[in-house]
Structure 1
Amino acid sequence: MIKYWFALLSFFFLTHEIFSQEYTISGAIADETNQPISYANIILIRASDSIVYKGTSSNENGKFIFNDVKADSYTLHITFVGFKDYTQALLVDADSVLDTIHLEETTEALDEIEIIAKKPTLKKEQDRLVFNIENTTLTEGSIWDVLKGTPGILMINDEITVKNSSNIIYLINDKRVYLSDHELQQLLSGTNANAVQSVEVITNPPAKYDASGGAVINIKMSKNLVTGYNGNLYGNYTQGVYPRYNIGTGHFFKKDKLSVFLNYSYDYSKVNRVNKEDMLFIEANAVTGRWQGDIDRNTKSKTHNASLNLDYDFDEKNTLSLSASTTQTPFWKQKTNSVTQAIDSTF
Structure 2
Amino acid sequence: MIRSTYLTVIFFLTFSLALAQDFTINGSVVDENNIPVVLANVILLGEEGEFIKGTVTDDQGDYRIHSIAKGNYRIVASYIANIVESDLLVVTSSIEMPPLVLQSAQELDEVVVTQNKPKLEQLADRHIFNVENTAISDGDIWDVLKRTPGVMVMNNRLYVNGSSKVNIMINGKLVNLPEEDIINLLSGSSASNVQSIEVITSPPAKYSAEGGLLIDIKMKKNLVAGYNGAVFNRYTQGVLPKHTVGTDHFFKGKRVDFSTNYSFSHDRDWTRYSDATTFFEDGQENEIWTAEQKSISKGKSHNLNLFLDIELNKKNALSFSSTSSFSPNNNTIYTSSTDIESTNADVIARLKGLNTLGDDTYNTSNYLDWVHKLNDKGAEIATNAHFTYYDSKDNQELNNDIVVGFTENTSENTLNISSDQIINLFSAQTDLTLPLSKQSTLETGLKFANINSESSILQSGFDETITNINPSESGIFNYDEQI
TM-score normalised by the chain length of structure 2: 0.52
Unmatched runs of 5 consecutive residues or more in structure 1: 1-15, 275-296, 338-347
Task: Please state whether the residue corresponding to 2:86 is helix, strand or coil.
Answer: strand
- Residue aligning to 1:309: 363
Query: Cα gap change, 1:17/1:93 in structure 2, threshold over 3 Å: closer, same or farther?
Result: farther
Task: Please state whether the residue corresponding to 2:181 is helix, strand or coil.
Answer: helix
Whole-angstrom distance in 2 between the partners of 1:112 and 1:148: 27
- Residue aligning to 2:301: 251
CA contact (8 A) 1:144 1:188 kept: yes
Query: Cα gap change, 1:117/1:255 in structure 2, threshold over 3 Å: closer, same or farther?
Result: closer
Instruction: Give the alignment of 1:39-188 within 5 angstroms.
Output: 39-48=39-48, 50-81=49-80, 84-94=82-92, 95-106=94-105, 108-109=107-108, 111=110, 118-188=116-186
Whole-angstrom distance in 2 between the partners of 1:253 and 1:157: 23
Task: Please state whether the residue corresponding to 1:254 is helix, strand or coil.
Answer: strand
- Residue aligning to 2:187: 189
Instruction: Name the % identity.
Output: 27
**1:36 and 2:36 correspond:** yes
Instruction: Give the alignment of 1:324-343 within 5 angstroms.
Output: 324-327=391-394
Q: For each residue in 1:204-237, what CA deviation from the matched residue of structure 2 results, as whole angstroms up to 9, or x when unmatched?
A: 2123224643111101111488533513234443
The structure with the larger Rg is 2
* Paired residue type of 1:261: S
Unmatched runs of 5 consecutive residues or more in structure 2: 1-15, 222-247, 249-258, 275-290, 307-320, 340-350, 371-383, 407-483
* Paired residue type of 1:163: N
* C-alpha deviation, 1:331, in angstroms: 5.1
* Paired residue type of 2:361: S
* C-alpha deviation, 1:326, in angstroms: 4.5
CA contact (8 A) 1:309 1:322 kept: yes
Q: For each residue in 1:253-305, what CA deviation from the matched residue of structure 2 results, as whole angstroms up to 9, or x when unmatched?
A: 4376764312354456688999xxxxxxxxxxxxxxxxxxxxxx999866554
* Paired residue type of 1:325: S
Question: RCO higher in 1 or 2 (8 Å CA, sep ≥ 6)?
Answer: 1
Task: Please state whether the residue corresponding to 1:194 is helix, strand or coil.
Answer: helix
Alignment coverage as a number of residue pairs: 298
* C-alpha deviation, 1:63, in angstroms: 0.8
- Residue aligning to 1:323: 390
- Residue aligning to 2:12: none
Task: Please state whether the residue corresponding to 2:98 is helix, strand or coil.
Answer: coil
1:233 to 260, 267, 273: 267
Task: Please state whether the residue corresponding to 1:123 is helix, strand or coil.
Answer: strand
CA contact (8 A) 1:132 1:197 kept: yes
Task: Please state whether the residue corresponding to 2:136 is helix, strand or coil.
Answer: helix
**1:262 and 2:261 correspond:** no
* Paired residue type of 1:233: D
TM-score normalised by the chain length of structure 1: 0.70
* C-alpha deviation, 1:195, in angstroms: 2.1
Query: Cα gap change, 1:19/1:245 in structure 2, threshold over 3 Å: closer, same or farther?
Result: farther
- Residue aligning to 1:201: 199
Query: Cα gap change, 1:247/1:34 in structure 2, threshold over 3 Å: closer, same or farther?
Result: closer
* Paired residue type of 2:363: N
Whole-angstrom distance in 2 between the partners of 1:139 and 1:255: 17
Query: Cα gap change, 1:247/1:38 in structure 2, threshold over 3 Å: closer, same or farther?
Result: same
CA contact (8 A) 2:189 2:263 kept: no
Task: Please state whether the residue corresponding to 1:85 is helix, strand or coil.
Answer: strand
Between stretches 175-184 and 265-274, larger displacement belongs to 265-274
Whole-angstrom distance in 1 between the partners of 2:120 and 2:260: 26
CA contact (8 A) 2:116 2:133 kept: no
* C-alpha deviation, 1:151, in angstroms: 0.7
Task: Please state whether the residue corresponding to 1:251 is helix, strand or coil.
Answer: strand
- RMSD over aligned CA atoms reads 3.9
Structure with bigger strand share is 2
